[in-house]
Amino acid sequence: MLAKCYSYLMSKLNTVRMYLHHAPKLSEATDLYQHKVTLLDGGEFDLSNLRGHPTLIVNTASKCGFTPQYEGLQSIYERYHERGLEIIGTPSGDFADQEFEQAQEIGAFCQKNYGVAFPLTERMSVREDPAPLWHDLTLQPNSAPPKWNFTKYLIGADGRLIKHWGSMTKPDGPAITAAIESALGD
């Protein structure tokens, strides 16, 4: 019983620490396409291949109240991909451990329930102990670490952050689609 209470208390303390930690912001935007990530299938993906394309990067989770946003993400991927938009989902368990542990479980869930066709990275930390891409993403001017699952970051064709939105903003809503249209510029 004591061990269970201790574990619960430590979990809550780590969550508080995660939200209180604030890294200094960069004074100028940097190229986020300089990173490489590991995909859900284990392959490496070099983000420099995205240069010339705006990209929406989203921290995702399969067991979250915002999980139905996968439908909106897939919808805008289908709507704008031929015009140049890329989307990358990053499964993460940082917020209440709402992601499956195994890559196969994540992939099967996303495919079966939402028909996800855009790339998904391996499960990684986006805030607690952020992976290099997420560390750099949140240090950009006018950026912030995700406060919960399904925070969205629009990266320009030049690899620099354009804007970010919280979990409550729907990916296929007017705020994000207007920014995508502007980033596509055609």
Which residues are catalytic, by number?
64
Report the C-alpha gap between 62 and 93 in whole angstroms: 9
Beta bridge partners of 59: 90
Report the C-alpha gap between 30 and 46 in whole angstroms: 16
Q: 59 and 166 in contact (C-beta within 8 Å)?
A: no
Report the C-alpha gap between 103 and 152 in whole angstroms: 21
Report the C-alpha gap between 137 and 128 in whole angstroms: 14
